[in-house]
Amino acid sequence: MKQRLDVLVVERGLAPSRDRARALVIAGQVAVNGQVVSKAGTGIAADATIVLLQPDHPYVGRGGLKLAHALDTFKIVVEGREALDIGASTGGFTDVLLRRGALRVVALDVGHGQLDWRLRNDPRVVVIEGQNARYLESSHVPGPVDLVVIDVSFISL
């Protein structure tokens, strides 16, 4: 029986979600039995060999690449720190902070339900949704933080 390529990419652990799998397929980054397939809905045999042509980034969102680069460039140490991620969205920055040893990350966003499920369930993550950073007060954040990272758009702070 054949399955959609994007579903198989996720089932085999090559992408964290169907959305990411679709993006990889459309970008021509997925090969099936040695041939690039560019349509996510293509039916693929269950025993097919599926590979990524380039390793995908390790973070839940592309934003993680930006923060990782900045932390490396400016030699900022995250390990052992408590952080506030303003504009957390899917959690790319939060993911980087945790992978680099943050003790706790407060993931704050004006939206709802965007944060990756794995991060949302991580005991080191405190999720604050529906909070506009323009109106943020210290009482909104549970406890002090040592580091603040911000990735926002759409509005001026």
| Domains assigned to the chain | 2-52 (3.10.290.10), 63-150 (3.40.50.150)
Cβ neighbors of 89 (< 8 A, separation 6 or more) are 61, 63, 109, 111, 114, 115, 151
Whether 37 and 71 have beta carbons less than 8 Å apart is answered as no
Full pLDDT tens readout for the chain, 157 residues: 899 999 999 999 888 889 989 999 999 999 999 999 999 999 999 999 999 998 777 888 878 989 999 999 999 999 999 999 999 999 999 999 999 999 999 999 999 999 998 999 999 999 999 999 999 999 999 999 999 999 987 666 5
Helix ranges (DSSP H) in the chain: 5-11, 18-26, 63-73, 92-99, 117-120
How far apart CA 156 and CA 38 sit, in angstroms, is 38
Count Cα atoms within 13 angstroms, Cβ side, for 95: 20
Check residue 100 and give its pLDDT: 98
Check residue 59 and give its pLDDT: 85
pTM above threshold 0.75: no
Check residue 66 and give its pLDDT: 92
